[in-house]
């Protein structure tokens, strides 16, 4: 059997590096493409080839066009919501135009490749719907980041209909686990782990009743393998091939802090700071579609995932 070839953009980052590990373990030949703007070279598995470039560059397009890939998992992104608010043009440049550079290169490669796109279940639905959010719910993104992610999904639908491009969009909830950057704004688990390790108080904005759907990074990586194995989209299809990836369990920030302290046996004070303007109150996704059509469900219980994440931070 010939070796299947996968490209992981953003494979030096948090989720992408776990995905590169999972693909290698599943027998794929893996190439990672990353500009190392937030990712780390040391997180790219030794068995993967590495292309150091920006997804917006001609080099990235050449890599996609000539790499002979059966699968492209596109995770490279500007993923800071607040940065997208401060500089929507930069966000659109990376997250929309960078994605289009890869998609266009795929179209002109003349090769049938599965394109799996890292979308968001936390930022496309907005606050106007009652969770758990179904894939079919109206999209009402509250940030330029969410708009850009949804725009790429719309482009993918267009390319599927008009150019027979074969894609899957995966809408991740709040992903956590080892290697998450504790300095970013997305990773409350990573931030809390760092604080617990240092023995400093956990800061909770507002009353701490705001909820999120925390899904373990290893489970998200496994979902990509399922997405890679789906049958090809029939040409001209109008189906939206998007799947929420989460746990369908709502956890408040206060519950998260308590679970972490319980699981690690470490106790620090919880301090309350003023609520952050515009912060979503509830966020949780329905995962019935992923369960049925991908045959995927999250395997990692929250307590165990939190313990593993803390152990990783604590060992550094
Ligand atoms: N972490 C989450 O909870 C979450 C939730 C929903 C969606 N996502 C999406 O998952 C993907 C991965 O997120 P992550 O949490 O692993 O973030 P991350 O910052 O750890 O990884 C992103 C990677 O992309 C690379 N990158 C950024 N801009 C690039 C560019 N212009 N060219 C090439 N490489 C570039 C970075 O160096 C980094 O290695 C992103 O697309 C993000 O939007 C993440």
Ligand 1: atom nearest CA of 175 is: 3
Q: Check: CB of residue 285 under 8 Å from CB of residue 248.
A: yes
Q: Is the pLDDT of residue 266 over 80?
A: yes
Distance 156 CA to ligand 1 centre (A): 19
Q: Which residues line ligand 1 (CB under 6 A)?
A: 10, 12-16, 34-39, 54-56, 75-79, 94, 98, 118, 120, 122, 172, 174-175, 181, 186
Cis peptide preceding 73, ω within 30 of 0: no
Probe target for ligand 1 pocket from 18, 79, 153, with the most ligand atoms within 8 Å of CB: 79
| Mean model confidence pLDDT for the chain | 95
Rounded distance from Cα 76 to ligand 1 centre (Å)? 5
Calculate how far, in angstroms, residue 298's C-alpha sits from the geometric centre of ligand 1. Answer: 21
104-158 pLDDT, tens per residue?
999 999 999 999 999 999 999 988 889 999 999 999 999 999 999 999 999 999 9
Report the percent of the chain where pLDDT is more than 70: 98
Asked if residues 212 and 248 have their Cβ atoms less than 8 Å apart, the reply is no
Counting from 1 in the atom list of ligand 1, the atom nearest the Cα of 43 is: 39
- Tell me the C-alpha to C-alpha distance, in Å, between residue 198 and each of 182, 259, 266, 268: 13, 18, 10, 10
Closest protein CA for atom 13 of ligand 1: 15
Tell me what the mean pLDDT of segment 66-79 comes to: 98
Does this model's pTM top 0.75? My answer is yes
The catalytic residues are 145
Calculate how far, in angstroms, residue 21's C-alpha sits from the geometric centre of ligand 1. 16
Question: Which domains are delineated in the chain?
Answer: 5-175+215-245 (3.40.50.720), 177-213+248-284+299-314 (3.90.25.10)
Protein residue with its CA nearest to atom 23 in ligand 1? 10
Average pLDDT on 202-224 reads 97
Question: What's the rounded Cα separation, in Å, for the pair 57 and 101?
Answer: 8
State the pLDDT at residue 184.
64
> What are residue 254's DSSP bridge partners?
none
268-281: average pLDDT: 91
Look at residue 179 in the predicted model and tell me its pLDDT.
97
């Amino acid at each position: 059997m010939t070796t299947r070839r996968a490209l992981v953009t953003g494979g030096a980052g948090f989720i992408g590096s776990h995905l590169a590990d999972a693909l290698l373990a599943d027998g794929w030949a893996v190439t990672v493409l990353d500009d190392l703007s937030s990712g780390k070279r040391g997180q790219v598995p030794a068995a993967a080839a590495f292309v150091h470039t920006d997804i917006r560059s001609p080099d990235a397009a050449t890599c996609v066009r000539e790499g002979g890939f059966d699968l492209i998992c596109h995770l490279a992104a500007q993923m800071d919501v607040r940065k997208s608010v401060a500089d929507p043009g930069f966000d659109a440049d990376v997250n929309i135009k960078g994605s289009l550079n890869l998609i266009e290169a795929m179209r002109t490669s003349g090769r049938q490749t599965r394109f799996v796109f890292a979308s968001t279940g936390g930022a496309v639905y907005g606050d106007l719907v009652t969770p758990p959010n179904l894939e079919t719910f109206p999209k009402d993104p509250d940030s330029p980041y969410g708009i850009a992610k949804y725009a790429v999904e719309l482009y993918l639908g267009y390319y599927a209909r008009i150019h027979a491009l074969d894609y899957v969009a995966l809408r991740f909830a709040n992903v956590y686990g080892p290697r998450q950057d504790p300095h970013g704004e997305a990773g409350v688990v990573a931030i809390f782990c760092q604080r617990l390790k240092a023995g400093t108080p956990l800061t909770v904005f507002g009353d701490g009743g705001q909820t999120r759907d925390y899904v373990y990074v290893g489970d998200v990586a496994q979902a990509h393998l399922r997405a890679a194995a789906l049958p090809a989209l029939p040409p001209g299809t109008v189906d939206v091939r998007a799947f929420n990836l989460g746990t369908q369990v709502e956890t408040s920030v206060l519950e998260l802090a308590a679970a972490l302290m319980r699981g690690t046996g470490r106790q620090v004070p919880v301090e309350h700071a003023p609520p952050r303007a515009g912060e979503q109150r509830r966020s949780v996704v329905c995962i019935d579609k992923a369960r049925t059509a991908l045959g995927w469900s999250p395997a990692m219980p929250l307590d165990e995932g939190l313990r593993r994440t803390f152990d990783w931070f604590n060992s550094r």
